Amino acid sequence: MGVQSSKSKEKKKSKNQIRRERAKLAKLNQTDIKPTKEFPIKTSLKKLAGTHKSENLLSNDVNEELLNSFKEVFEKFQPKDEDKQEVRNEIVIVDRIDNVPEEAEHNQQKQNTGNKVASDGELSKRKFKRLYSIPLYMLKAESKRPELVEWMDSNSPDPRLHVYLKTLQNSVDVPTHWSSKKSFLSAKRAIERPPFQLPDFILETGILEMRDTTLNEDQTTLKQRMRERVQPKSGQLDIDYDKLYDAFFKYQKKPFLLKFGRLFNENSNIDDIKFKEKLSQVKIGTLSRNLKLALGLIDENGTVLNKLPPWYTKFEELGPPPSYPHMKILPTGQIIVNSVQGRRKTQKHWGVLINDVDVDEESPKKSKQVEEEQEVESKFDKSRGDIMLSAFGDDPAKYKNLAKTTSKTEKDSKLYKILDSTEITNQASIFGSKAPTYKL
């Protein structure tokens, strides 16, 4: 019985108790291990210390003068911080010019070298990419339209191909929200949107009224309402399929689409865009059918009731509007807008000089008279102080100091002149009793 009771006690132990007991046993085993007191060598250290004298291998008596002299010599051979920076800059510039990626082979070599440098621990892949990637100014210099090149284009896998595709004609830009952290149209979540409305060509078929099977509470009984909830009616539509076919294939209108290259943003409003496009389609002088019906110019059947618009009488009294001064309304009701003002000017080639002088028939005669007068005036005359050109060739030494002699004879003109002042007692003057006067 005793053996069975001990076994039952062991079985009752939980897993946590067993784990704790094992941890206690492990701690006891660690504490039981103690270092041995006995030393294997019989001779003690004190005896050895007595026999051998201690010798200081590193002596403190160091000659500081020798150290300083060696230090000065080695400092001359070490490069300065500025020289190190210049060497690094030169290495980076040379590598950047030599290793410009032009083909796939260059890119592979660059990746291999980048991995080697990263393994050595000198440069990481990101720093290596920054150093050896094509800079932004180079991409802008190479492209035909540098205003389209952005700062993130240099980080693309193939920057030159990316810029080439971006600057092509009729190319649409990538939407700006590609790099934003917010989701697209996240700002319009709080705005209440109107429910979706079916287009007009579908509403004309009457399908919306057929689907509206809900009747008023007064018309239905309680049993009918419960039956509709449990067994709703489905697949029971009395509609003409020819009418549906005509609605989708004959009377269907083209949905509203934005123009080519125009992107929808969060701030853009479709109603404003539609209104602007309608204004662009409106032309001066053309009246739509709805406007003619509203003005009473035509019937619903299209018969003409009145040709002239109601503002025709005011138009004759006051004239055309100031924004369209060349507008005319004919008695037949046709509106004409003459955008051409005046006669058409005959244009010449660009860069032709404009002659302000009026060309007359007597102009050649006058020109001849002017030439004759100039010839008469250009003759030699001693009274005016003219000198013959032949005189300079005979004896040029006489006329060397001609300018010097004339300049010495004339007195140097002064910039200003000091006037003599005298004081005169004048009580009636504004400046006081002693007002100064100057001799001119």
Q: How far apart are CA 184 and CA 268, in angstroms?
A: 13
Q: How far apart are CA 274 and CA 280, in angstroms?
A: 10
User: Is residue 35 very low, low, confident or very high in pLDDT (cuts 50, 70, 90)?
Assistant: low
Q: Is the pLDDT of residue 343 over 50?
A: yes
Both tokens of 240, joined, read 């003409």
Q: Is the pLDDT of residue 182 over 70?
A: yes
207/300: higher pLDDT: 300
Q: Is the pLDDT of residue 143 over 80?
A: yes
Q: b/e map of 256-266 (b: 16 or more CB within 10 Å)?
A: eeeeeeeeeee
Q: How far apart are CA 166 and CA 179, in angstroms?
A: 17
Q: What is the pLDDT of residue 389?
A: 55
317/113: higher pLDDT: 317
Q: What is the pLDDT of residue 85?
A: 53
Answer for the pair 254, 199: CB distance below 8 angstroms, yes or no.
Answer: no
| Mean pLDDT confidence for 71-97 | 59
Nearest residue to 267 via CA among 177, 206, 152, 356? 177
- For tokens 């009294």, the residue is 317
Q: What is the pLDDT of residue 98?
A: 46
192/95: higher pLDDT: 192
Q: What is the average pLDDT score of the chain?
A: 72
Instruction: Report DSSP state, residue 256.
Output: P
**Of 54-68, 190-204, 412-426, which range is least confident?**
54-68
Q: Is the pLDDT of residue 27 over 50?
A: yes
| Mean pLDDT confidence for 304-332 | 83
Q: Is the pLDDT of residue 393 over 80?
A: no
Nearest residue to 198 via CA among 259, 273, 248, 268? 248
Whether pTM exceeds 0.85: no
Whole-angstrom CA distances from 28 to 16, 24, 32, 216, 440 are 19, 6, 6, 88, 129
| Mean pLDDT confidence for 26-40 | 63
Q: What is the pLDDT of residue 159?
A: 92
Amino acid at 299: D
Q: What is the pLDDT of residue 265?
A: 80
Q: What is the pLDDT of residue 140?
A: 93
Q: What is the pLDDT of residue 167?
A: 92
Q: What is the pLDDT of residue 147?
A: 92
Q: Is the pLDDT of residue 194 over 70?
A: yes
Identify the three-state secondary structure at position 262. coil
User: Is residue 326 very low, low, confident or very high in pLDDT (cuts 50, 70, 90)?
Assistant: confident
188/305: higher pLDDT: 305
**Of 11-25, 112-126, 270-284, which range is least confident?**
112-126
Q: Is the pLDDT of residue 380 over 50?
A: yes
Identify the three-state secondary structure at position 420. strand
376/353: higher pLDDT: 353
Answer for the pair 305, 296: CB distance below 8 angstroms, yes or no.
Answer: yes
Q: What is the pLDDT of residue 91?
A: 46
Instruction: Report DSSP state, residue 304.
Output: B
Both tokens of 33, joined, read 């291990």
User: Exposed/middle/buried for 299, CB within 10 Å: 0-12, 13-18, 19+?
Assistant: exposed
User: Is residue 95 very low, low, confident or very high in pLDDT (cuts 50, 70, 90)?
Assistant: very low
Answer for the pair 295, 309: CB distance below 8 angstroms, yes or no.
Answer: yes
pLDDT tens per residue across span 148-179: 999 989 888 899 999 999 999 889 888 888 88
Q: How far apart are CA 113 and CA 110, in angstroms?
A: 5
Q: How far apart are CA 402 and CA 399, in angstroms?
A: 5
pLDDT tens per residue across span 206-220: 877 776 655 556 667
Q: What is the pLDDT of residue 317?
A: 86
How many residues are listed for the chain in this entry? Answer: 440
Q: What is the pLDDT of residue 161?
A: 94
Give the number of other CB atoms < 10 A from CB of residue 320.
13
Q: What is the pLDDT of residue 33?
A: 54
CA 412 to mean position of chain CA atoms? 66
Q: What is the pLDDT of residue 57?
A: 46
Both tokens of 59, joined, read 């002596």
262/348: higher pLDDT: 262
| Mean pLDDT confidence for 21-46 | 66
